[in-house]
Homo-oligomer: A and B are copies of this chain.
Amino acid sequence: MLAPRLGQRTAALRSTASACAPPLPLPLPLRRPPRPPPALRRSLATAPPPPPASPGGSAPLTKAKRVRFYRSHPYWTALLAAPFVVTGSLGVALLGLWAWDASTFHHPHASNVPIDPLALNPKRGGKKNLKIAESLVDDLDARKVNSSGKAKKRLVIVGGGWGSVGIVKNLDPDVWHVTIVSPDNLVEPLRKIIARVGGHFFAGKAIDVDFSERLLEVDCAGHGENFYLPYDKLVVACGSVNSTHGVPGLENCFQLKTIQDAQAIRRRVMDNLEAAALPSTTEEDRKRLLSFVVCGGGPTGVEFASELWEMVNEDVIAYMPSILRNSVKVHIIQSRDHILNTYAEKISEYAEEHFRRNEIDMILNARVKEVTPDKVVYTVRNKETGETKEHELDSGFTLWSTGIAMNPFTQRVASLLPNQYHKHALEVDAHLRVLGAPLGTVYAIGDCATIETRLVDHLLEFVERADEDKDGNIDRKEFAKMMGYVKRKFPASKKHFAKIENVFDKYRRENGTLGLNELADMFLEISKKITALPATAQVAAQQGQYLGKKLSTLGKQELDETALKNGVYDDPDDMLYHPFKYKHLGSLVYFGGAAAFDIPYFQKAGDLWAMYAWRSVYLSETVSIRQLVLFLGDWVKRSLFGRDLSKF
């Protein structure tokens, strides 16, 4: 039945296929397309007749006419086909997604993988005679040896933030047997990232380290006794805690370090709003509940204050009694003259202008003295008279975000080593190796690390290498050579030695050389000019990437034992790889529907356009495609439905 009908139709079509197409002015690009010809208008107004139920009749003729029309009006044909093409493509995409979804509902049964008996019954050792995790329960799935049969080197990373992710994503899994120790996985599900390099993860807290035996002690929060994790190289990347500045009552503050922190803050803010709406709440209590105090005018404090303000103004106003909106007050206490004082002046000014417009209360030049459950006590110093005056602020919620300090593990590491004097972080050299630890075995990155800037500590070493005639003086030629060493060891000093001639001439003695005193003065002055890297995700991520790539290179070389034995690489980090160099991609601050950029050679702040730019940069920095999609999804959700008012 079908075949003859098809044949007949095709014949009918063929008979008209050679007919001449009538001339038609084609639509001009960039202009409104002309009205469709009458025949098309008719066919647009009424649905085309259904194909005939039986062959014969006048239908094939109509069909042939239509086909002739389509063939002679290709633009209109394409236009008419467009909706079908779009719908069809979407349908195919959905079907594909469905098929994929359906295909993922398989339930693989784990085969019984053999387990190294040593993993189940570890030996004991080390100073504290703890179990040593020489072999791990998943070593036989994840392989302890590399593709050429050699045992992999052990890399242990403490912490699971941006820095660790940066390392793992750049690591050669054929070289390193990697284990991450962190009480939480913070950035995004670490397990998946680690699985890609056949690595291991332990949800524990590093609490001590034995540099001589290369053992890291891990506390498992109540699950069995502590154990030792052996390493060939250790990376400390465990971030920081908020600096207390010795202020009493910080247990009454919220902090914003982890996702749990963010959830707790959200719950508290919503609880306060709900409590403020209760009829039993007095006017005074309502004002206190709706007074939000942010201690610290850095990027975290500024972004939080803006987010809070935006939430209250966009959503709360629509769904809660308007008395709440009128009573909400956001305060930000900053110890300096300006908020965002580490940013370019332009950015700082824009942020302050934005805050003033939104009636966010900025309290500048103020120091928090004490925090109680419902109050923040602070002092403000009058710059002219020098007097300090004490003030009190009712607070229903206090956020503490005033700089960083060492966490207990970092403190422990610093206490074990000589040459660690920095207050907030572990000092590392330009290769990110922790100063004082056995060379090339301990690295530190991210918030818990700071790159040394004291050139003068290495003065004698530089002179030793550069003073070719051993006369104790550095002449112009020797100085040029010395500058090479200095720049290699302190890459951040590079821009301060802009013109060697000038520097040399500025300090040189009358005899045309530099002595130790002159060099020391020069080094001290330059050290002062070097600023420490900020405690940002950007720095941590770049350091992680650098270390991941470097360790892959070093690891391959170290596995080549002849090279090692010949002692070619007494300082492999320096011989085989360049020092770390930070590439500032720009700082971004986002505040309530606006954003500010602080990019090299470009400072700019603005409303909508800056916000979208911020988003795109942020997106390009996210960890994975997965996170990117989820992130974008969240924005779309926010646009479509507003912020979620639920507490979860």
Contact = CB atoms under 8 A, between A and B. Distances in A.
B136 A263 contact: no
Nearest to A624: B641
Contact of A78 (B85, B260, B630): B85
B593 A105 contact: yes
Contact of A21 (B71, B110, B189): B71
Contacts of A629: 637, 640-641
Contacts of A189: 319, 644-646
Interface string A293-319: 000000000000000001001100111
A410 B89 CA distance: 54
A271 interface: yes
B13 A220 contact: no
Nearest to A30: B6
Contacts of A86: 85-86, 89
B203 A275 contact: yes
Contacts of A289: 223
Given A630-B637, A639-B101, A326 B110 contact: yes
Interface stretch (A277-285, A377-385, A451-459, A544-552): A277-285
Nearest to A289: B223
A208 B580 CA distance: 68
Interface in A574-595: 592-593
A72 interface: yes
A278 B223 contact: yes
A168 to B, nearest CB: 13
Nearest to A260: B648
A20 B20 contact: yes
Interface string A118-136: 0110100000000101001
Centre residue among A108, A612, A637, A639 by max chain B CB count within 10 A: A639
Interface stretch (A39-47, A224-232, A344-352, A485-493): A224-232
A188 interface: yes
Interface residues of A, number: 123
A280 B220 contact: yes
A532 interface: no
B223 A636 contact: no
Contacts of A112: 326
A620 to B, nearest CB: 17
Contact of A645 (B21, B192, B648): B192
Given A78-B81, A108-B313, A280 B318 contact: no
Contacts of A113: 322-323, 326
A204 interface: yes
A82 interface: yes
Given A70-B74, A137-B323, A279-B137, A285 B639 contact: no
Centre residue among A119, A321, A633 by max chain B CB count within 10 A: A321
Interface string A1-28: 0000010001001100110111111101
Given A10-B26, A191-B645, A283 B120 contact: yes
Interface string A188-224: 1101101100000111100000000000001010011
Contacts of A32: none
A325 interface: yes
8 contacts: A81-B81, A104-B314, A110-B317, A138-B277, A202-B278, A203-B278, A224-B278, A227-B278
Interface of A: 6, 10, 13-14, 17-18, 20-26, 28-30, 67, 70-74, 77-78, 81-82, 85-86, 89, 97-98, 100-102, 104-105, 107-113, 115, 119-120, 122, 131, 133, 136-138, 141, 184-185, 188-189, 191-192, 194-195, 201-204, 218, 220, 223-227, 229, 259-260, 263, 271, 274-275, 277-283, 285, 289, 310, 313-314, 317-323, 325-326, 358, 592-593, 607-608, 611-612, 626, 629-630, 633, 635-637, 639-642, 644-648
Q: Which 6 A-B pairs have the closest CB atoms?
A: A138-B321, A224-B280, A203-B274, A133-B279, A110-B325, A101-B639
Given A20-B21, A202-B278, A218-B280, 4 more contacts: A21-B21, A77-B78, A81-B85, A141-B322
